[in-house]
Amino acid sequence: MKLIVQIPCFNEEDTLADVVSDIPRQIAGVECVEILVIDDGSTDGTIAVAKTCGVDHVLKNKKNLGLARSFQAGMEEALRLGADIVVNTDGDNQYRGTSIPDLVKPILERRADITIGDRNPGANPEFTGLKRFLQKFGTAVVRNLAKLDVSDAVSGFRAYSREAALSINVMTKFSYTTETLIHAGQHGLVVISVPVKTNPSTRPSRLAGSMFSFLRKQVITILRSYFMYRPLAAFLGAGLIMCTIGSVPILRFLFYYAIGEGEGKVQSLILGSMFLLAGYITIIIAFLSDGLATNRRLTESVLQRVRRIEQHHLEGTNPTARSPAEFAGDD
């Protein structure tokens, strides 16, 4: 059983040494613990610090690609290196490495495919009242969309089983946290929240320039994921609402026309026809999008099989074995 702890980094020379030193190298149930640093085009001494600290692997992006792409690159590299479990933590030393054994325990016991480090944001003294509210609200939205019982949806401290890592595909450039949860929920993966310890903040988050910018990007990511994974529900509901609204002025026109007072009520007919047409087009888009979503699930299944074949060539395992989680998105 090999565990790889991946650390996406962008100019983290001041904190990386503390992050690495806090990661336990011996964990019950794990034979080998290795550390992978993903350098996202850093311009400081991040790579030099990584080598000095004795990390096992360094993956370097030629330029800054963002957290989401660095996360995905790290997952693929960890799989290539033969990881059975992948833990993701931040390079700013926000999370305590001593919590990693608790984080991977449900996966080792085969009770979960993914575990989320719960920072208990509602009681975190470093979070402002506004940030606590936004964290709570955002988590509630993601919980509803993903159909998962998670308590800290934007926590980056996570553990993935190999099966979960093989299925993860991050499409956004901003952040992987919410998208991967929605993806996990749609594919029937079991996700468990695990209480973890955190360190005092060393610097403001670089993920967004301001709270407003962060909120805007998260809303866009959530909406994009919703339309990507549940397009029928998203577009069909909107189309039916527009058709219902459009029917009201048309019925009004027909009523007055029936009693001989239709003259001068043509505006109602035009308005209703516009809403009906928009609703009809939206309903058509709903079914077309659902067809595209089905094709996407098939493509993801093929990609997962390709990854299994790659693992087979590296490790000599059976590439045709398929976990129950893979079947969850088939219907």
**pLDDT, average across residues 39-67:** 90
E runs forming strands in 281-330: none
For residue 124, pLDDT beyond 70:
no
For residue 122, pLDDT beyond 90:
no
Residue 317, CA atoms < 13 Å, CB-side half-sphere: 15
For 17-30, what is each residue's pLDDT tens digit?
999 999 999 999 99
For residue 327, pLDDT beyond 70:
no
- Quote the pLDDT of residue 18: 93
**pLDDT, average across residues 115-126:** 76
CA distances from 1 to 63, 97, 103, 182, 307 (A): 33, 19, 15, 28, 19
CA distance 138 to 144: 10
- Quote the pLDDT of residue 331: 39
Which residues 6+ apart lie within 8 Å of 272 measured at CB?
246, 247, 248, 249, 250, 251, 252, 253
For 193-246, what is each residue's pLDDT tens digit?
999 988 877 666 655 556 666 677 767 777 777 777 778 888 898 899 999 999
For 303-322, what is each residue's pLDDT tens digit?
777 777 776 666 655 544 44
φ/ψ region of 269 (left if φ > 0, alpha if ψ in -120 to 50, else beta) reads alpha
- pTM (predicted TM-score): 0.74
DSSP string covering 165-196: HHH-----SS-SHHHHHHHHHHTT--EEEEE-
